[in-house]
């Protein structure tokens, strides 16, 4: 079945049908070249075996042990054998088989010595490249690429490096990689076979002969498995809810494009999706939909990272596939439930790891596996009944990372449905994106789409259930563990029950201490039973505390408080106030009387008086904090802005607040965890507007308009626990 | 110890067989070249590459035959 759709940016498709007959859209010449290349591999392997036999004769201990019996004849025999395995005009430098011979071969490789088998494989690789060039005339017409290929094939190192540098300079890394993508494996294998690095020869041999996954980086020779084993973890999955908008965009009816669009919707966010579909026969089956690699750090808590992609491709089992298995187990399927696995990029490699896991396939019946843009050439299904489809763009470099790409001449999986196509988009990573594959399958590959959709027939029904999972390399700590792992209890408010304590997973804060008018401060404390205010140089110490609680059990919100720092209400005037202010909340008696508060969340504004006594104002708040500076704005009323100056590291301090409610005083605590910085020379300045607002009035009365703080504490990342206020008798 | 000469002779036999295998490889190389040329698919460098491989196969086969003969002599002389 051949499919050519290309006229103006369409795709040209080369498919291998399930019956095993290779069919192509590029004509007889390329097929002849590929067939010749495959035959040359057989010849190269046969020559390699011959060299191994000669080496075995040369190193045979029995033969060597008999030398004293016939030294002259033995010496001549050894000399003849030595010539056979080192004659540059014959087998070349060809010690093979056994550890000693491998060592000798590596030493020879370092001097540039080659064997006849390697030279024949080189010819095979060049024929593979020639076949690809017929499909990709842009390669033939590209003088710079041609120069690189010729230099690599002729073992002209310096010229190859110069050609590569010229390419990188002229087009940049992305365009160079994109241009090379269809012949990436072949060029790398050529270089590795012919260069003087003995460590990459085994990987090159595997790529050239198609015998297995490239075990090492073909450039450096660094073991792929050595890198992949860095990706550790038993894998874990937790149910997560998609947002309403995401859930609304999921397909409601099973189809290949629908499943791929779901993968696009879930995105590379560390999540995956399982859907149950009621097929045309009324049977409910399940579709596991797995995205590719997540951008960002090469190794993070998710198996969808770079290391996860690498290990999924190289190893038989990886944290990614183990996490998928746990998600599927959690989904609650009966023994033998029918599954279709759909994956993109590293997700395709991960689902194939499940497909080749005999235990997984004993628990479930994996009927279909569809990998899109994935390196899966050397995966082997445990259940021969699993129908496998692979869709790859020849300019996508990711599927070629196992060493087999557009130039492949081996029918590695005659029973798979393989769609290896190309279109006018040659730029990587654009052509690797799930959206690009979706567009190609939707618009340019209708035949392939029909075939796969046809095979997915039992899954083409109404979606009756869907569940997303967040995947992890290893079982994650409970959220906020251990600080936020505390007993909770409901507290009744006029707004309904609120779960306390309020737990903030991720917040930032800035506290600025000012010297203010003592009379005004005393006025704020009048009748509270608190005070007098803690004084610094005859001025009252006042705090402006601002925080952005990004993720809390009450939702995200910002808050700003104005407070007067007060000593122990029952032992006021004590000299112990300063060390007391440094104590943790559970032992602190001094605190801050909350004179005015503003929050930007209506929910928090409504419950605050019941919980803490203070009656905050609701206003838009701005909070920005970096290591260098801060900006806090309360509507258009108050601004605290500027550089924080040098900071000394410290641990974040708990907060103790006193507030008045109906003649009572409530003491509430905010326990904090995280690091903060103490800024002894802050350059921030408080600017107070002229609006008629209680907070504005208080700040003016305290004389803080235009004031700089004495000291600032900043915490860029912290967690907090905030319980309800407790009434205390202060009078 | 008859096992020693027989072992050496065994190697000789394998190498003779390998020499024939190399001749077959050379024959297959020729056929590949002919096939590609007939199909109009032969790259310009193929003739030179295949010729080099053919010459190497012939030389290697000769080396193996020579080594095999030396091994047989060695096996005879090594008999107790």
User: Which tens digit of pLDDT belongs to each residue from A333-373?
Assistant: 999 999 999 999 999 999 999 999 999 999 999 999 999 99
Chain B CB within 8 Å of residue A32 CB: yes
The Cα A627–Cα A605 span in angstroms is 29
Whether residues A62 and B7 touch (CB distance < 8 A) is answered with yes
Residues 6+ apart with CB under 8 A from B19: B61, B62, B64, B65, B68
The model's pLDDT over A234-273, given as tens digits with 9 standing for 90+, comes to 999 999 999 999 999 999 999 999 999 999 999 988 999 9
What is the layout of strands, in order, in the sheet containing A2-4? A2-4, A12-16, A417-422, A387-393, A365-372, A338-344, A284-290, A271-278, A462-472, A236-240
CB burial of A340-357 (b: ≥16 within 10 Å; e: otherwise) equals bbbbbbbbbbbbbbbbbb
Whether residues B77 and A73 touch (CB distance < 8 A) is answered with yes
Q: Cβ contacts (< 8 Å) between A33 and chain B: which residues?
A: 36, 41
Kindly tell me the sign of the dihedral angle through the C-alpha atoms of A557, A561, A567, A572.
Answer: negative
Whether residues B52 and A119 touch (CB distance < 8 A) is answered with yes
Closest C-alpha to A83, from A65, A62, A57? A57
The Cα A272–Cα A343 span in angstroms is 10
Extract the runs of DSSP E, i.e. beta strands, from A397-455. Answer: 417-422
The Cα A340–Cα A262 span in angstroms is 14
- Tell me, what's the pLDDT at A312? 80
Chain B CB within 8 Å of residue A523 CB: no
Whether residues B67 and A60 touch (CB distance < 8 A) is answered with no
Determine the average pLDDT of the residues in A687-712.
95
Q: Where are the alpha helices (DSSP H) in A382-445?
A: 434-439
Task: Please name the member of A46, A62, A127 whose beta carbon is closest to the beta carbon of B21.
Answer: A46
Neighbouring CB atoms inside 10 A of B80's CB total 8
Q: Cβ contacts (< 8 Å) between B60 and chain A: which residues?
A: 47, 50, 84, 87, 90-91, 116
Q: Cβ contacts (< 8 Å) between A83 and chain B: which residues?
A: 63, 66-67
pTM of the model: 0.72
The Cα A310–Cα A609 span in angstroms is 54
Query: Is the confidence at residue A225, as pLDDT, over 70?
Result: no
Closest C-alpha to A375, from A354, A393, A357? A393
Min Cα separation A85/chain B (Å): 9
The Cα A305–Cα A472 span in angstroms is 10
According to DSSP, the β-strands at A284-290 and A489-493 are unpaired
Whether residues A69 and B36 touch (CB distance < 8 A) is answered with no
The Cα A626–Cα A515 span in angstroms is 24
Neighbouring CB atoms inside 10 A of A189's CB total 30
Quick one: which H or E segment has residue A324? helix A319-331
Q: Cβ contacts (< 8 Å) between A71 and chain B: which residues?
A: none
How is residue B51 annotated by DSSP? H
Q: For a pLDDT cut of 90, what percent of chain A falls above it?
A: 58
Q: Can you read off the two tokens belonging to residue A535? A: 């004084």
* For testing contact with chain B, the best of A80, A114, A152, A407 (most B CBs within 10 A): A80
Closest C-alpha to A397, from A430, A443, A364, A419? A430
The Cα A404–Cα A128 span in angstroms is 11
Chain B CB within 8 Å of residue A343 CB: no
Query: Is the confidence at residue A201, as pLDDT, over 60?
Result: yes
Min Cα separation B47/chain A (Å): 11
- Tell me, what's the pLDDT at A213? 62
How is residue A527 annotated by DSSP? T
The model's pLDDT over A558-600, given as tens digits with 9 standing for 90+, comes to 999 999 999 998 876 657 788 888 899 999 999 999 999 999 9
Half-sphere exposure for A393 (CA within 13 Å, toward CB): 33
Whether residues B41 and A28 touch (CB distance < 8 A) is answered with yes
Q: Cβ contacts (< 8 Å) between A91 and chain B: which residues?
A: 56, 60, 63
Q: Measure the CA angle with vertex A17, ends A11 and A22; round to 5°.
A: 85
Q: How confident is the model at residue A132 (pLDDT cuts 50, 70, 90)?
A: confident
Packed helices B46-77 and B3-38: angle between N→C axes, nearest 10 degrees: 170
Whether residues B74 and A73 touch (CB distance < 8 A) is answered with yes
Closest C-alpha to A86, from A126, A43, A115, A122? A115
How is residue A443 annotated by DSSP? I
A490, exposed or middle or buried, with CB in 10 Å at 0-12, 13-18, 19+? exposed
The model's pLDDT over A656-677, given as tens digits with 9 standing for 90+, comes to 999 987 778 999 999 999 999 9
Quick one: which H or E segment has residue A617? strand A617-618
* For testing contact with chain B, the best of A28, A39, A42, A43 (most B CBs within 10 A): A43
A290, A314 Cβ separation under 8 angstroms: no
Min Cα separation A394/chain B (Å): 22
Min Cα separation B27/chain A (Å): 10
> Has the ipTM of the complex gone over 0.85?
yes
Q: Please give the residue that has the higher pLDDT: either A22 or B7.
A: B7
Determine the average pLDDT of the residues in A708-720.
96
CB burial of A217-235 (b: ≥16 within 10 Å; e: otherwise) equals bbeebebbeebbeebebeb
- The CA-atom distances, in angstroms, between A709 and each of A352, A510, A542 are 61, 12, 9
Closest C-alpha to A677, from A709, A701, A647? A647
Q: For a pLDDT cut of 70, what percent of chain A falls above it?
A: 89
Task: Please name the member of A63, A73, A89 whose beta carbon is closest to the beta carbon of B59.
Answer: A89
B78, B8 Cβ separation under 8 angstroms: yes
Q: How large is the greatest C-alpha to C-alpha distance in chain B, in angstroms?
A: 61
The model's pLDDT over A52-82, given as tens digits with 9 standing for 90+, comes to 999 999 999 888 888 888 899 999 999 999 9
Quick one: which H or E segment has residue A625? strand A621-625
Task: Please name the member of B15, B40, B53 whose beta carbon is closest to the beta carbon of A57.
Answer: B15
Q: Can you read off the two tokens belonging to residue B40? A: 């109009």
Determine the average pLDDT of the residues in A521-548.
93
Q: Cβ contacts (< 8 Å) between A126 and chain B: which residues?
A: 43, 45, 49
Neighbouring CB atoms inside 10 A of A40's CB total 28
Task: Please name the member of B22, B60, B67 whose beta carbon is closest to the beta carbon of A81.
Answer: B67
The Cα A22–Cα A410 span in angstroms is 10
- Tell me, what's the pLDDT at A460? 96
Whether residues A29 and B43 touch (CB distance < 8 A) is answered with no
How is residue A509 annotated by DSSP? E
A116, A94 Cβ separation under 8 angstroms: yes
Q: Which of A 57-86 lie inside 8 A of B, CB atoms?
A: 57, 60, 62-63, 65-66, 69-70, 72-74, 76-77, 79-81, 83-84
The Cα A669–Cα A559 span in angstroms is 15
Closest C-alpha to A547, from A602, A629, A612, A623? A623
- Min mean pLDDT across A162-176, A473-487, A516-530 is at A162-176
Task: Please name the member of B35, B56, B63 whose beta carbon is closest to the beta carbon of A84.
Answer: B63
Determine the average pLDDT of the residues in A683-711.
95
The Cα A12–Cα A392 span in angstroms is 12
Residues 6+ apart with CB under 8 A from B38: none
* For testing contact with chain A, the best of B8, B28, B42 (most A CBs within 10 A): B8
The Cα A172–Cα A428 span in angstroms is 12
Chain B CB within 8 Å of residue A29 CB: yes
* For testing contact with chain B, the best of A95, A123, A133, A154 (most B CBs within 10 A): A123
The model's pLDDT over A429-461, given as tens digits with 9 standing for 90+, comes to 788 899 999 999 999 999 999 999 999 999 999
Kindly tell me the sign of the dihedral angle through the C-alpha atoms of B29, B31, B34, B37.
Answer: negative
Query: Coil, helix or strand for A481?
Result: coil
Whether residues B71 and A123 touch (CB distance < 8 A) is answered with no
Determine the average pLDDT of the residues in B11-34.
96
Q: How confident is the model at residue A301 (pLDDT cuts 50, 70, 90)?
A: confident
- Min mean pLDDT across A168-172, A288-292, A442-446 is at A168-172
Whether residues B18 and A53 touch (CB distance < 8 A) is answered with yes
Mean pLDDT of the residues in chain A: 86
Whether residues B67 and A40 touch (CB distance < 8 A) is answered with no
Neighbouring CB atoms inside 10 A of A712's CB total 26
Q: Please give the residue that has the higher pLDDT: either B78 or A703.
A: A703
Q: Cβ contacts (< 8 Å) between B77 and chain A: which residues?
A: 69-70, 72-74
Q: Cβ contacts (< 8 Å) between A53 and chain B: which residues?
A: 11, 14-15, 18
Q: Cβ contacts (< 8 Å) between B71 and chain A: which residues?
A: 57, 63, 77, 80-81
Residues counted in chain A: 731
Closest C-alpha to A616, from A601, A634, A597, A600? A597
Task: Please name the member of B41, B57, B70 whose beta carbon is closest to the beta carbon of A77.
Answer: B70
Q: Can you read off the two tokens belonging to residue A334? A: 């009966």
Closest C-alpha to B5, from A69, A382, A634, A151? A69
Task: Please name the member of A29, A72, A76 whose beta carbon is closest to the beta carbon of B41.
Answer: A29
Q: Cβ contacts (< 8 Å) between A50 and chain B: which residues?
A: 18, 21-22, 60, 64
- Tell me, what's the pLDDT at A7? 34
The model's pLDDT over B32-60, given as tens digits with 9 standing for 90+, comes to 999 999 988 898 889 999 999 999 999 99
DSSP string, A44-79: HHHHHHHHHHHHHHHT-HHHHHTTTTSHHHHHHHHH
Residues 6+ apart with CB under 8 A from B33: B42, B46, B47, B50
Q: Cβ contacts (< 8 Å) between B2 and chain A: which residues?
A: none
């Amino acid at each position: 079945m051949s499919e050519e759709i290309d006229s103006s940016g369409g795709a040209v498709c080369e498919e291998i049908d399930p019956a095993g007959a290779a069919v192509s859209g590029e004509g007889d010449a390329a097929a002849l070249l590929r067939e010749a290349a495959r035959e040359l591999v057989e010849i190269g392997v046969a020559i390699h075996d011959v060299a191994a036999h000669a080496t075995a004769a040369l190193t045979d201990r029995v033969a060597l042990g008999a030398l004293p019996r016939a030294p002259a004849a033995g010496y001549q025999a050894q000399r003849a054998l030595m010539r056979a395995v080192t004659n540059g005009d014959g087998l070349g430098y060809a010690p093979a088989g056994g550890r000693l011979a491998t060592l000798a071969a590596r030493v020879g490789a370092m001097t540039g010595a080659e064997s006849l088998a390697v030279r024949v494989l080189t010819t095979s690789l060049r024929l593979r490249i020639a076949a690809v060039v017929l499909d990709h005339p842009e390669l033939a017409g590209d003088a710079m690429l041609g120069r690189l290929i010729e230099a690599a094939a002729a073992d002209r190192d310096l010229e190859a490096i110069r050609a590569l540098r010229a390419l990188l300079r002229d087009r940049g890394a992305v365009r160079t990689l994109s241009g090379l993508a269809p012949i990436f494996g072949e060029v790398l294998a050529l270089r590795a076979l012919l260069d003087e690095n003995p460590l990459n020869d085994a990987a090159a041999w595997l790529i050239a002969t198609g015998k297995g996954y490239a075990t090492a980086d073909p450039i450096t020779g660094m073991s792929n498995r050595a890198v992949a084993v860095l990706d550790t973890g038993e894998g874990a999955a937790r149910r997560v809810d998609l947002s309403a908008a995401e859930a609304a965009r999921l397909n409601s009816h099973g189809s290949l494009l629908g499943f791929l669009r779901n993968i696009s919707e879930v995105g590379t966010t560390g999540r995956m999706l399982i859907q149950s579909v009621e097929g045309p026969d009324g049977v409910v089956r399940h579709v596991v939909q797995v995205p590719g690699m997540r951008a960002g750090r090469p190794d993070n808590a998710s198996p969808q990272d770079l290391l996860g992609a690498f290990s999924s491709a190289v190893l038989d089992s990886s944290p990614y596939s183990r996490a998928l298995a746990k998600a599927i187990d959690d989904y609650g399927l009966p023994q033998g439930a029918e599954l279709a696995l759909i994956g993109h990029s590293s997700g395709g490699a991960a689902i194939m790891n499940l497909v080749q896991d005999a235990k997984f396939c004993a628990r479930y019946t994996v009927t279909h596996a569809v990998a899109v843009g994935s390196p899966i050439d050397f995966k082997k299904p445990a259940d021969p009944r699993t129908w496998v489809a692979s869709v790859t763009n020849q300019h996508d470099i990711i599927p070629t990372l196992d060493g087999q790409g557009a130039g492949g001449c081996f029918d590695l999986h005659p029973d798979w449905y393989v769609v290896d196509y190309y279109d006018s988009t040659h730029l990587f990573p654009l052509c690797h994106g799930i959206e690009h594959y979706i567009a190609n399958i939707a618009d340019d590959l209708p035949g392939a789409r029909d075939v796969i959709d046809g095979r997915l027939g039992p899954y083409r029904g109404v979606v009756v259930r869907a569940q997303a999972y967040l995947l992890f390399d290893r079982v994650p700590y409970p959220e906020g563990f251990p600080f936020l792992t505390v007993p909770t209890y409901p507290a009744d408010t006029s707004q309904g029950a609120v779960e306390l304590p309020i737990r903030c997973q991720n917040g930032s804060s800035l506290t600025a201490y000012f010297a203010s008018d003592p009379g005004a401060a005393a006025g704020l404390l009048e009748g509270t039973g608190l005070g007098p205010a803690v004084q610094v140089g005859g001025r009252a110490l006042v705090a402006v505390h601002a925080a952005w609680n990004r993720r809390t059990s009450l939702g995200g919100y910002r808050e700003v408080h104005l407070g007067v720092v007060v000593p122990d209400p029952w032992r006021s005037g004590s000299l112990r106030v300063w060390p007391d202010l440094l104590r943790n909340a559970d032992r602190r008696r001094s605190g801050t009387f909350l004179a005015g508060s503003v929050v930007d969340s209506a929910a928090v504004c409504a419950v605050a008086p019941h919980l803490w006594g203070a009656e905050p104002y609701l206003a838009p708040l701005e909070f920005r904090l970096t290591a260098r500076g801060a900006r806090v704005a309360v509507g258009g009323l108050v601004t605290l802005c500027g550089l924080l100056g040098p900071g000394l590291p410290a641990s974040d301090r708990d907060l103790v607040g006193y507030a008045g409610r109906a003649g009572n005083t409530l003491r509430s605590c905010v326990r904090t965890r995280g690091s903060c910085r103490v800024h002894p020379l802050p350059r921030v300045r408080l600017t107070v507007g002229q609006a008629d607002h209680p907070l504005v009035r208080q700040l003016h009365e305290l004389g803080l308009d235009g004031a700089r703080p004495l000291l600032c504490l900043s915490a860029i990342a912290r967690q907090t626990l905030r319980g309800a206020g407790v009434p205390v008798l202060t009078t | 110890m008859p096992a020693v000469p027989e072992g050496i002779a065994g190697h000789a036999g394998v190498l003779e067989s390998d020499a024939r295998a190399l001749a077959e490889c050379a024959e297959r190389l020729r056929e590949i070249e002919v096939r590609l040329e007939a199909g109009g698919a032969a790259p310009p460098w193929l003739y030179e590459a295949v010729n080099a491989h053919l010459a190497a196969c012939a030389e290697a086969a000769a080396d193996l035959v020579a080594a095999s003969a030396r091994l047989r002599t060695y096996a005879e002389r090594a008999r107790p």
